[in-house]
Structure 1
């Protein structure tokens, strides 16, 4: 019965974390799932097990694959964090069973929560810490000193192989416990630290691990190409600090009555304060909108992306998502200027070699029909993923290789996806296209893409960008998206000469049977005083009338240039005229 309050306490913690993460971080977990790929095959699993920390990594990836299920990521993460708190509490109570400092076990939980908001953090770090705490609890329960010493040495070695860098934390913790406790022959336990040093140094020397920080520090549980923020160290430091505090206070008088209530209230306030400040500082509010848009793009929920983008935007990544959504709906040329546009970067941002931007650009270029760059970006994204690949980008690599007819390469990626839980059915369906040109060419997506294949394509924002689009549209008039991107590109560049050449060349053809709204507005901008030119391209009377009203407003307020954008923006912010004059 004594354990019942603890169970209830941590049940409340679990439920609170589950609700919080489900409400405020739902799309973060979908993003985490896309950053890792787990193959349910012995060759893949055995390869991971051969690495230091391999067991923790296998457990991690087997759990992360379920993050694709709504709210599963939040519940699993909440359960793991609660487990860390409970195990920490069990370890601390081995030192002082009467401690009332329930804030101490929650410090590693809070600090780990903050790290979990970072897409480059590997859940393996949390699993490994839980494994370490469980082993430490078991070792501390051993009463005979000699047995505890042997268990400590063996546990250090096993943790190195099964959990990775957290073995160094275990060595520090066990030495701290024995030294402060002044156990008989406590100095023998320094051998645990010596074994830990040998393992870490040897693993780097023999190239099992690349750097010492990956051998001894939580850096091992972060993207190998990046340096983590210092918050990643807080969970380890807070755990060691908790051990030290419990040792210092263990012989103090037990709190009772009013003092116990006051102490509990102070701890609750501190927990709430730390939670609030930590989420404010380390939360993913800056990246959460992109994670949300990425999920909607992956699930083809274009209207939800557009709904998110109706407000003013300064982030080119968001503009790319909005324009891509319009392109998929066939409304880019018609409605582009109903959304905040700020130049051609809003069509395709400059590639910065990051996995997230590579994923976005692969989606954008695939929407245009530019298979070459879509494939290149998918490959870069897959290469830059956190663990073993990006499932969606691997699907893109299957599609692009099928389009090109490089069937052996496509088959390789299909085989990988067939080893997964949630992508195997899709992968199996793709096998019908292998070595079957007729099947590929009859497919609405793959066949249409194959018709517009370019021999050479340039990853550039200006040089070659419009040439690619124009050539794709001419090769395959059914590819409306490429032609719409072309026209909007000229308008965003304010390159009216090229825009004029485009409409005069293609107006009345299958590519441009009628001018969409933004093009009609641009025609008036091209030749403001030549109404006959407008009529040539079928500019509607309603647009002509609206332009007259717009022009009157400009002339009426021309003596107040600073206020003019604000005045016109309310009524005409969705027109090309406004973009041309003020952006």
Structure 2
């Protein structure tokens, strides 16, 4: 899209420039446009040639040289490394992911010269002289344009993906508050729920607000691994937030090497962070040098130079320091854990300030309805530096551990408020059951956001 806009800008300048210097402008702008925008330059050369012939320009035959200059620019650019090969130096596939089918982009490629031919054909007919005729003539043209744009947007626009694309942008730019505030309950998917829960974890709200949203098993916390770039990116973000650095680095590298040839700066940043955390400074330095060559990530990369070969700076940093402690605990583990639950159970005692890790661990167990493991974890970790306080949702799970023993609840940190509510909930279940009403419907308004309701009525995917 940006390349096409550059094409239109330079072509507009070409059509409005004085005739005496138009040819010189065309010759010099072609290699410049190729350097800026790539193979779109061939469309410029063709369109400029069409313009000269369709307007009967004085230099219409000599303007054929535009095609030669465009071709030479592409060939030279290939040998200088601007294009991977000659095919991508000439064709619009250069702007697309090589793993996708991109035939649709040729419609835009052909549309401009075809429109020029159509306009030249229509100009053969005299425009209406009367005001009414002009209005009809202009109105018909605008109506056709509007119809084409409208149909094009709905056919090619992938509007159903707009919410996910916007959320992904907000996650990439770490705008956690906007991810939460702009979450749309009417457009739900497991991927979007994972993004929302990630934002809640970064804000320290995952445990408190877990059941304020429509959770549906552990895949709303972490998607099943489908070997796609997009899931690899999300997994890297999730593991990094949890403090499982080795997995975060693994998935960042997976996403980076699977991305298109222009690279993946988002994951390159993650590789810099994880290599700084693990003390692999030469590798981090190499990646920083790559990002410093970009426009949009240069400042971020340069700012992280202060951590290179400086253990003290890393360890004193609020985020990197905590992640390094998690990594050291992971590296010193007796065995390698491949799932996040086992990894977090091992990490948390050694890194008690990893609050996001605790929130994810308890959320994994609760959404998976693994009450036995949750009970064991709570008895071993609760009231330690890693787990000082329980949210209401976590307290409600304690009630399920031993539903007929209020004394057990209080011993394990359940507040009087939650205890009284648990007793009221159990009485309500008995009353509704005796009345013959639909239990899920009758309890939803008052208890729909409790863990008891989730435990009883949420049918998880197997």
TM > 0.5: yes
What is the SS of the residue equivalent to 1:266? helix
Contact 1:132 1:159 (8 Å CA) reproduced: no
Greater relative CO, 1 or 2 (CA 8 Å, sep 6+): 1
What CA distance in whole angstroms lies between the structure 2 residues aligned with 1:80 and 1:556? 70
What CA distance in whole angstroms lies between the structure 1 residues aligned with 2:282 and 2:221? 33
Which residue in the other structure is 2:104 paired with?
A: 231
Shift of the alpha carbon at 1:419? 2.5
1:231-380 correspondence to structure 2 within 5 Å: 231-246=104-119, 248-249=121-122, 251-257=124-130, 258-309=132-183, 311=185, 314-380=188-254
Shift of the alpha carbon at 1:270? 1.9
1:513 aligns with 2:428: no
What is the SS of the residue equivalent to 2:349? helix
1:321-470 correspondence to structure 2 within 5 Å: 321-386=195-260, 388-453=262-327, 454-455=330-331, 464-470=339-345
What CA distance in whole angstroms lies between the structure 2 residues aligned with 1:123 and 1:531? 70
What is the SS of the residue equivalent to 1:431? helix
What CA distance in whole angstroms lies between the structure 2 residues aligned with 1:456 and 1:135? 68
Q: Call closer, same or farther: CA 1:159–1:433 in 2, change over 3 Å.
A: closer
Q: Call closer, same or farther: CA 1:323–1:247 in 2, change over 3 Å.
A: closer
Which residue in the other structure is 1:530 paired with?
A: 405
What CA distance in whole angstroms lies between the structure 1 residues aligned with 2:185 and 2:443? 17
1:208 aligns with 2:134: no
Runs of 4+ more than 6 Å apart = 87-90, 559-562
1:124-273 correspondence to structure 2 within 5 Å: 129-130=43-44, 132-134=46-48, 136-137=50-51, 143=58, 147=62, 151=65, 154-155=68-69, 157-158=71-72, 160-161=74-75, 208-209=85-86, 214=88, 217-228=91-102, 230-246=103-119, 248-249=121-122, 251-257=124-130, 258-273=132-147
Contact 1:334 1:516 (8 Å CA) reproduced: yes
- Which runs of 5 or more structure 2 residues have no equivalent in the other structure? 17-35, 79-83
Shift of the alpha carbon at 1:521? 0.5
Q: Of 415, 421, 427, which aligns to 1:540?
A: 415
Q: Call closer, same or farther: CA 1:573–1:133 in 2, change over 3 Å.
A: farther
Which residue in the other structure is 2:9 paired with?
A: 83
Per-residue deviation, residues 146-175 of structure 1 (Å, max 9, x unmatched):
6355x26524623644899xxxxxxxxxxx
Shift of the alpha carbon at 1:369? 0.5
Contact 1:403 1:449 (8 Å CA) reproduced: yes
What CA distance in whole angstroms lies between the structure 1 residues aligned with 2:209 and 2:93? 46
Contact 1:131 1:163 (8 Å CA) reproduced: no
Q: Call closer, same or farther: CA 1:336–1:344 in 2, change over 3 Å.
A: same
Which residue in the other structure is 1:483 paired with?
A: 358
Which residue in the other structure is 2:21 paired with?
A: none
Q: Call closer, same or farther: CA 1:295–1:248 in 2, change over 3 Å.
A: closer
Per-residue deviation, residues 512-566 of structure 1 (Å, max 9, x unmatched):
2232211111111222111111011121222223233433443344479895434
Q: Call closer, same or farther: CA 1:153–1:288 in 2, change over 3 Å.
A: closer
TM-score, with normalisation over the residues of structure 2? 0.80
Per-residue deviation, residues 94-144 of structure 1 (Å, max 9, x unmatched):
xxxxxxxxxxxxxxxxxxxxxxxxxxxx97566664464345535766547
Contact 1:362 1:373 (8 Å CA) reproduced: yes
Is 519-528 or 504-513 further displaced after alignment?
504-513
What CA distance in whole angstroms lies between the structure 2 residues aligned with 1:508 and 1:256? 87
Contact 1:313 1:340 (8 Å CA) reproduced: no
Q: Call closer, same or farther: CA 1:243–1:404 in 2, change over 3 Å.
A: same
What CA distance in whole angstroms lies between the structure 2 residues aligned with 1:216 and 1:125? 5
What CA distance in whole angstroms lies between the structure 1 residues aligned with 2:435 and 2:266? 51
Q: Call closer, same or farther: CA 1:126–1:555 in 2, change over 3 Å.
A: farther
Which residue in the other structure is 1:21 paired with?
A: none
What CA distance in whole angstroms lies between the structure 1 residues aligned with 2:159 and 2:378? 43
What CA distance in whole angstroms lies between the structure 2 residues aligned with 1:162 and 1:565? 69
What CA distance in whole angstroms lies between the structure 2 residues aligned with 1:542 and 1:81? 66
TM-score, with normalisation over the residues of structure 1? 0.65
- Which runs of 5 or more structure 1 residues have no equivalent in the other structure? 1-31, 33-58, 61-76, 91-121, 165-206
What is the SS of the residue equivalent to 1:574? coil
What CA distance in whole angstroms lies between the structure 2 residues aligned with 1:561 and 1:374? 50
What is the SS of the residue equivalent to 2:104? helix
